[in-house]
């Protein structure tokens, strides 16, 4: 049975071009980038090429890109590193209630260390309440961190408006762009972003590689101690192959973004329209459609248990999720759906379908057919 993979927000398949670019650094070009001899210098050169490719995707200086092990590490480094380095300026941080747990749990850790955090509400579409954010600012506020786009419902936040508020009050602005990178244009200069987190495996690069943009002049305390890699910001021998893969993936994303966005929007809309037309009972699309990632469709089916639905779909060769892959197995309702006030009858029945470049309309037809049968029978078969 062929697998129909529809969970591209959880992870993506490495593209052939990316893997081909990586292979020499997994085989013949195995040098340590900190070594002075030729194979080490080749590795160093490959890292710097990748740094430029990542920088070009978000329009920054290559020296403002720092490689990490994941998007979560980038988030931790940005928040903890900045908070520790600037605690004499203030101890207050602002974020939203629908952030990824890499942000929320980092904020909780900082709270236990004496920092104060304001968690801003969102509306029913998942958009942060700007007036509440502005009112939360204090003289002690040093950092605002709001994700570019939500990993569960795909809502895109008004980043330029938030960054304008932050800059007007001399507050540093960080955004978790892990889901947004490759799925929408991001220009850190135009959008006035001070720090930005991204992850490789969301854009057809390997797992275990991420990056953090830190605008020149922003002071962030070193998060991992040891060596002097990444301009003395992150100790540890570099994952050269992973870095090369991330760089190539960013290059491809930069080249193909318009086509990618157009194709994913078409297949997502086809899926939602077909669901609304063919389902025998009411469904609920979670999150607004106006400002949403192109491949994201989060839908609740009243009276259906999402976990059961996922297992039944898996038996039919279909891979979807109920939300963040990082929260799978958690029996509590989604903090994102709770924050946007999804009615209780829909709260535990949400299925997140996130499309990729290889998905087809025929796969969507099959998906809707299977969902319709499962919902009709209330997953008793």
Quick one: tokens of 350? Answer: 């949400």
- pLDDT reported for residue 227: 86
- pLDDT reported for residue 329: 52
Q: How far apart are the first and last CA of the chain?
A: 20
- pLDDT reported for residue 303: 84
- pLDDT reported for residue 332: 80
- pLDDT reported for residue 109: 98
Measured between alpha carbons, how far is 293 from 256 in angstroms, rounded to an integer? 16
The set of catalytic residues is: 326
- pLDDT reported for residue 85: 97
- pLDDT reported for residue 355: 98
In sequence order, the 6+-apart residues with CB closer than 8 A to the CB of 196 are 58, 148, 174, 175, 177, 186, 188, 212, 213
- pLDDT reported for residue 75: 98
Divide the 381 residues of the chain into consecutive groups of 10 and give the mean pLDDT of each group: 94 98 96 86 95 98 98 98 98 98 98 98 98 98 98 98 98 98 98 98 98 97 89 91 98 98 98 91 91 97 92 97 61 90 92 97 97 80 48
């Amino acid at each position: 049975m062929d697998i129909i993979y529809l969970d591209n927000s959880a992870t993506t398949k490495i593209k052939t071009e990316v893997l081909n670019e990586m292979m020499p650094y997994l085989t013949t070009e195995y040098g340590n980038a900190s070594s002075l001899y030729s194979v080490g210098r080749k590795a160093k050169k490959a890292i710097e090429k990748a740094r430029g490719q990542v920088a070009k995707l978000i329009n920054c200086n290559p020296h403002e890109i720092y490689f990490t092990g994941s998007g979560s590490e980038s988030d931790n480094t940005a928040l903890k590193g900045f908070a520790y380095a600037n605690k004499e300026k203030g101890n207050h941080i602002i974020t939203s209630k629908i952030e990824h747990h890499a942000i929320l749990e980092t904020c909780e850790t900082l709270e236990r260390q004496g920092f104060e955090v304001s968690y801003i509400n969102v509306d029913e579409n998942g958009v942060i309440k700007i007036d509440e954010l502005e009112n939360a600012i204090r003289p002690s506020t040093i950092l605002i961190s709001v994700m570019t786009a939500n990993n569960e419902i795909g809502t895109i936040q008004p980043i330029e408006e938030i960054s304008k508020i932050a800059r007007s009050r001399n507050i540093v602005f960080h955004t978790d762009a892990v889901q947004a990178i490759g799925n929408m244009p991001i220009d850190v200069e135009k959008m006035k972003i001070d720090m930005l987190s991204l992850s490789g495996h969301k854009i057809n690069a390997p797992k275990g590689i991420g990056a953090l943009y830190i605008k020149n002049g922003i002071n962030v305390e070193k998060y991992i101690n040891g060596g002097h890699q990444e301009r003395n910001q992150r100790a540890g021998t570099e994952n050269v192959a992973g870095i090369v893969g991330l760089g190539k993936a960013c290059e491809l994303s930069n080249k193909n973004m318009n086509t990618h966005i157009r194709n994913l929007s078409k297949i997502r809309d086809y899926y939602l329209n077909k669901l609304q037309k063919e389902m025998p009972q009411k469904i609920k699309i979670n999150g607004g459609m106006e400002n949403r990632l192109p491949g994201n469709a989060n839908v609740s089916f009243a009276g259906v248990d999402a976990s059961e639905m996922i297992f039944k779909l898996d038996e039919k060769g279909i891979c979807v999720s109920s939300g963040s892959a990082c929260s799978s197995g958690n029996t509590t309702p989604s903090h994102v759906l709770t924050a946007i006030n999804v009615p209780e009858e829909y709260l535990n029945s949400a299925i997140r379908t996130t499309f990729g470049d290889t998905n087809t309309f025929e796969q969507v037809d099959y998906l809707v057919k299977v969902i319709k049968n499962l919902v009709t029978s209330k997953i008793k078969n």
